[in-house]
Amino acid sequence: MNDRRCWLRRVAALGLLGAASATGLLREVLAAGNRPIVPGMQKLTGKVWVNGQPAHEGMSVGSGDTIVTGPGSEAIFVINQDAFLQRENSSVSFSGATADVMRVLTGKILSVFGKGPKKLQTATATIGIRGTGCYIESEVERVYFCLCYGTAEVVPNADPSHVEHFETRHHEHPVYLYRDSAQPMMRVGRDSCKKQQKAA
């Protein structure tokens, strides 16, 4: 199986392309064969901005960009070999030479990453991952983080000495990351991760 089909299966398995938007996009990507996945905005619903400008399908997105979604809106986009589903009322920015640093300012985002290390910065923690998928909900006082598969290193801002390394195969280690140093990290039930992603 080629890398493209592996990527598509991973995206579909995580629900990144929901039933309402998947058919046309999947058909288009599959028709491309082994050519690189076309980056940029793939699907928009409602109001979406890139660096303060209205976004449109096909618009380039990469390092240095900030994507914002309004109420009742969402965006599906690809940067290099990484795919994202950003939900409503969310603000996410990318930096680094290869957009390998993602900062989730507010809101919800489901991500599927290609090969190589990535750094995720949230309001309450810094997370290092490699070749995996994850779901993040960022609030002012806490962040919900579910590693869908693969490995991660989580460093809570409230207690940088409390570093946790873990590996998952299927959503079995979701955590809440708090601002409170007395409780910087709390594990939640495995089913919670699946429910959160379905809600997304």
Q: Which of 55-59, 87-91, 148-152 has the lowest mean pLDDT?
A: 148-152
Q: What is the DSSP letter of 59?
A: -
* Amino acid symbol at 190: R
Q: What is the DSSP letter of 115?
A: S
**109 close to 84: Cβ distance less than 8 angstroms:** yes
Q: What are the pLDDT digits (tens) for 71-84?
A: 999 999 999 888 89
**177 close to 125: Cβ distance less than 8 angstroms:** yes
pTM of this prediction exceeds 0.75: yes
Higher pLDDT, 129 or 166: 129
Q: Which of 2-6, 38-42, 152-156 has the lowest mean pLDDT?
A: 2-6
Q: What are the pLDDT digits (tens) for 94-115?
A: 999 889 999 999 999 988 888 8
Q: What confidence score (pLDDT) does residue 36 get?
A: 60
Fold category of 3-199 in CATH: Jelly Rolls (2.60.120)
Q: How far apart are the first and last CA of the chain?
A: 29
Distances in Å between the Cα of 187 and the Cα atoms of 2, 42, 55, 194 are 36, 34, 36, 14
* Residue 197 CB-density burial (10 A; 0-12 exposed, 13-18 middle, 19+ buried): buried
* E strand residue ranges, 14-141: 40-45, 48-50, 53-54, 66-69, 74-79, 82-86, 91-95, 101-112, 117-121, 125-138
143 vs 135: CA distance, rounded Å: 10
